[in-house]
Amino acid sequence: MKGYLTAFTAMILAVLMPLWLLLIQGSQISGMKAKAEMVMDIGMNSVLAEYHREMLRDYDLFLLDTSYCSDLPTRAKTAEHLQSYLKKNLEPVDDLFSFLGLGFLGTKEAETMSASEVSVDMMRYATDGHASVLRSQILSYELDLLGLSGLEDTIGQQVADEWNNSGAEGLLENHHREDWNQAQQELQPYRYVNVPEEEGGGRKVALENPADYLFSLSGAALSGIILGNPENLSAAEQPIRELYSGRLSEKDPDVIYGDMPVPESNVKLAAKLFFLDYLLHHFHSYQMKEGSVPEHETRFACELEYILCGNASDKANLEETVGRMLMIRQAVNTAYLFTDANKQQQLEAAAKALAVAASAVTMSPVPSAPIKVSLTMAWGLLESIQDMKILCNGGKIALLKGNGVWRTDLGNLAHPGEGSGGDAGDEKGLTYEQYLCLLLLMQNDEEQMNHCIDVMELNIRMNKGNENFRMDACADRLLARARIGRGDTWFYIGREYGYEE
């Protein structure tokens, strides 16, 4: 009987032992694979943990600078960093066991896993898809900060509502250009008159039109009247050709493009308003309230003005911004003059008086209608100059004059710089910042984003070690692969990680 049991046990063990050994080996391989996947996950997270600190500090954005503070951004450098993290997490921990007095539990060299063939196969950069990647992260930040319900409280939404409710858009489209052009054509024959002289012959004399002085002012002259001599504004030009928008316009072959899918670039009004709110809380402007933007070193004092205009100096950007605001004010002020009966009577009387005086000189009748149109346009411009002086001094101006106060007289056409001292403007008007928001809302989305990236690059380059920083080298998502294992057992692990999951 005992012989039967011995034979039975031997036969069973002969069958079970290979099965047990197979199960043990399978468990070992599964454990190795699980370890390889965990180490790959840890490595990818570690790579993304090297996000650019200054970008997060100044602009609340998570981006990986693939140049690692050098002048040559490459995927190979990111792969090297991933390789080092994989190696550290695959190394044996014998020192820890020895410290605990458990040296016998240490990993034998033959059991140590390693990583090879580490590569970063695909990347998505902040500027991909016309910078839709960067815009997407900014919108996510704004949604986390404000939520959809918070959109109503943003300055951009308030300005957009004011603009839509006022009907000022129609005034800008009209602007009485046809009336103005026709008036100039009708007045052209009367601008100069031949005055006979005693010796015979004659000479051409220009007829004086009070509106001519205002219309002769250049953009720089108008800005000087409005702004005076603003402090801390430099005329020094920044190297914008070296910035992102400059590299694009020059078709620089070194501009870096990714090869991963990007978010949709279709920008709707809500997205534009959220982006505008981000700009207002991260970039400075001429009339920015103290403390509304985090303090950090900046190249431009008027950053929002650069985002709008894209000129190389603060002075040029501010002058152009003021000029654009002046155009809005001139359009709505002129439209108001054409509808105000009292002011139309003043203009009619002044035009007739000028026509009579001109007729006496030319010895032929001069029509008063085109003179009236010319005076109307000039008075609208004069009032607009006063409005802009108030805005640039921190006051408010109502979008439409029906809700505000008319501050100039027709007799001051030759003295546009006088008045408005200490005038705080309209109680319920818009501020300089809100008019700037209006201009930014009208701006082309791609141009606005490119100029925004320019400012970011300029400011980040002011930090030590970031002299060659460029936004098109900053990634927010990557796909990497690695071969991990030991001996005859290796696993090819691929992972795609990003800051937005």
Q: Let me know if residue 338 belongs to a domain.
A: yes
What distance lies between CA 238 and its chain's CA centroid?
Answer: 17
Q: pLDDT at position 157, please?
A: 77
Q: Let me know if residue 165 belongs to a domain.
A: yes
Please give the average pLDDT of every successive group of 10 residues along the chain, which has 501 residues. 70 77 77 92 96 95 94 92 93 58 52 89 95 93 81 75 67 55 58 52 53 69 77 75 89 87 79 92 84 74 95 92 90 87 90 79 73 84 90 89 78 72 76 93 94 96 93 96 92 93 57
341 in the same domain as 209? yes
Q: Let me know if residue 11 belongs to a domain.
A: no
280 in the same domain as 143? yes
Q: pLDDT at position 7, please?
A: 74
Q: Which amino acid is at 316?
A: A
Which phi and psi (to 5°) does residue 114 adopt? -140, 165
383 in the same domain as 491? no
Give Cβ neighbours of residue 195 (< 8 Å, ≥ 6 apart). Answer: 202, 203, 204, 205, 361
147 in the same domain as 106? no
On whether the CB atoms of residues 137 and 61 are closer than 8 A, the answer is yes
177 in the same domain as 292? yes
User: Of the candidates 440, 156, 438, which has an alpha carbon nearest to the alpha carbon of residue 306?
Assistant: 440
Please state the three-class secondary structure of 295-328 as a single string: CCCCCCCCHHHHHHHCCCCHHHHHHHHHHHHHHH
Domain hosting residue 229, numbered range: 132-255+265-460
Q: Which two tokens stand for residue 53?
A: 């600190």
110 in the same domain as 205? no
153 in the same domain as 230? yes
Q: pLDDT at position 128, please?
A: 95
382 in the same domain as 273? yes
Distance CA 421, CA 416 (A): 13
Q: Let me know if residue 379 belongs to a domain.
A: yes
Q: Let me know if residue 398 belongs to a domain.
A: yes
291 in the same domain as 401? yes
User: Of the candidates 244, 275, 260, which has an alpha carbon nearest to the alpha carbon of residue 138?
Assistant: 275
Please state the three-class secondary structure of 418-477 as a single string: CCCCCCCECCCCECHHHHHHHHHHHCCHHHHHHHHHHHHHHHHCCCCCCCCCCHHHEEEE
User: Of the candidates 55, 42, 66, 53, which has an alpha carbon nearest to the alpha carbon of residue 120?
Assistant: 66
On whether the CB atoms of residues 478 and 496 are closer than 8 A, the answer is yes
227 in the same domain as 319? yes
Q: Let me know if residue 22 belongs to a domain.
A: no
Q: Which two tokens stand for residue 166?
A: 């006022």
438 in the same domain as 364? yes
Q: Which amino acid is at 4?
A: Y
Distance CA 326, CA 385 (A): 7
Q: pLDDT at position 9, please?
A: 74
Distance CA 365, CA 3 (A): 143
Q: Let me know if residue 21 belongs to a domain.
A: no
**Whole-angstrom Cα Rg for the chain:** 36
Q: Which two tokens stand for residue 408?
A: 């100039």
Q: How many other CB atoms are found less than 10 A from the CB of residue 112?
A: 12
Q: Please count the structural domains in the chain.
A: 2
Q: pLDDT at position 205, please?
A: 46
Q: Let me know if residue 7 belongs to a domain.
A: no
204 in the same domain as 85? no
